[in-house]
Amino acid sequence: MASLQAKYGDQKEFLQAVREVLESIEDVYNQHPEFEAARIVERLVEPDRIFTFKVTWVDDEGDIQVNTGYRVQFNNAIGPYKGGLRFHPSVNLSILKFLGFEQTFKNSLTTLPMGGGKGGSDFNPKGKSDAEIMRFCQAFMLELWRNIGPDMDVPAGDIGVGGREIGFLEGMYKKLTREHNGVLTGKGLQFGGSLIRPEATGFGAVYFVQHMLHETDPNLSLEGKTVAISGFGNVAWGAATKATQLGARVVAISGPDGVIYNPEGMTKEKLDYMLELRASNNDVVAPFAQKFPDATFIPGKKAWSVKCDIALPCAFQNEMSAADAEELLANGTWLCAEVSNMGCQPGAIEAFQKARILFAPGKAVNAGGVATSGLEMTQNAMHISWTAREVDEKLHTIMDSIHASCVKYGTQSDGYINYVKGANVAGFMKVAEAMLAQGVI
């Protein structure tokens, strides 16, 4: 950690993600001298390679715009590099390295053969026209295409990259290579996409929460529980939809502008409107309260100010501070499942664990998204498509397996399940053993 700090001192998010994993695996690492001898940790914290490139495009006014594009190929010990692309003005190497590092362990947990990667750009999609989005995606792929492939590196969406962007990226890749080979996941259903992929991250997260409840008490269910969700994007929508279907009341969703207090819970109309709000590309949640008078907009407040049983951060890394966690605990929250990648600051996790409430980390909770991407890769390779029911069943099995791995590696002597430790150790063991078997490369 000290040498990493000296080398990458300015990469705050990356160092945070690595520290969490290293703290979790310390015990098992010490029980496996062969890992130490093979310098597995030193080799794991350095990405295999990073591509950085210029993306030049012309906006609707005819002005030339320049952005930076990246792809971090982190680790391919257990399968081709796999992970999303993020388009957001905050994107830099620290953020993409943290995401690629997390992705390596998350993908390991899914049971599918996928390595870890991440990429993106500092391009800001907010307020851009469809034509601008298309020109940017085409220019981005013009640089990226040589470095990806269905058996090499398979990108997908993340914040700022959804079905529309994947369509434009796929179109340009196909034009350049003349191959239609499943190089991206999250594609449209007409050209190789998988049913349930848009819902998978949020659905999978709620399936994971169900497992946490059943593990505590077989009679515990989501029926009648209050849920606070941050964000109103694709992931928040999936989580709100599934939680509502299972009888929970989603009492809060939020945006950068504030929180919607929604005491009556969601309806189909409200859930549909979340998608409309997102598609408008304005990054504000306030209009929700104008459309639905039973909901109230509270400007400048986070979802964590709303009293709830269950908190689901679905927005951004480090979105929940220690103070937010204390506010939730004071209001009686007894379960927090991170759905965003590294959504909780270390102090928040510490507060939850100290209070002995149920807490699970993003790399376990949100793995249903990438797992369903893995199922899309399988369908593409087999040249078939599964029904929604088949995909959903497989997603269920995968979330069940991830939860079982967390319990196996995370149960403490007093019975408390440390899901952070469980997820990190389970994810690490498979990657470490694969690296060991493949020699010094």
- Name the one range near ligand 2IT by CB under 6 A: 87-95, 165-173, 244-252, 367-375: 367-375
Asked if 341 touches ligand 2IT (CB under 6 A), the answer is yes
423 binds ligand 2IT (CB under 6 A): no
Nearest CA to 311 out of 294, 332, 284, 293 is that of: 332
- C-alpha 415/C-alpha 400 separation (Å) is 19
Q: Which residues contact 157 (CB under 8 A, 6 or more apart)?
A: 84, 85, 163, 165, 166, 186, 234
In this structure, the strands spanning 310-313 and 335-337 are parallel
User: Is residue 82 at the binding interface for ligand 2IT, with CB under 6 A as the rule?
Assistant: yes
Q: Binding residue for ligand 2IT (CB under 6 A) from 47, 79, 84, 115?
A: 84
Q: One of 97, 106, 118, 302 is an active-site residue; which one? A: 118
Task: Name the token pair of 120.
Answer: 């993106």
Q: Specify the stretch interacting with ligand 2IT by CB under 6 A; choose among 175-183, 275-283, 320-328, 368-376.
A: 368-376
Q: Would you call 392 helix, strand, or coil by DSSP?
A: helix
Residue 118 appears among annotated catalytic residues: yes
Give the pair of three-digit tokens for residue 110.
């899914």
What phi, psi does 258 have (nearest 5°)? 155, -165
SS3 307: coil
Q: Single out the residue of 238, 361, 369, 410 in contact with ligand 2IT (rule: CB under 6 A).
A: 369
Which residue is listed with tokens 């989603």? 250
104 binds ligand 2IT (CB under 6 A): no
Q: Which residues pair with 230 in a beta bridge?
A: 313
Part of the chain binding ligand 2IT (CB under 6 A), chosen from 19-27, 35-43, 82-90, 141-149: 82-90
Q: Which is nearer to ligand 2IT, 83 or 422 (CB)?
A: 83
Stretch that binds ligand 2IT, among 31-39, 64-72, 265-273, 366-374 (CB under 6 A): 366-374
Closest distance to ligand 2IT from the beta carbon of 145 (Å): 17
User: 129-168 mask for ligand 2IT (x: CB under 6 A)?
Assistant: ---------------------------x-x----------
Amino acid letter at 5? Q
Q: How far is CA 379 from the centre of its chain?
A: 22
Interface positions, 62-81, toward ligand 2IT (CB under 6 A): none
CA gap 38, 27 in Å, rounded? 17
Binding residues vs ligand 2IT (CB under 6 A):
82-84, 103, 156, 158, 185, 341, 369-370, 373
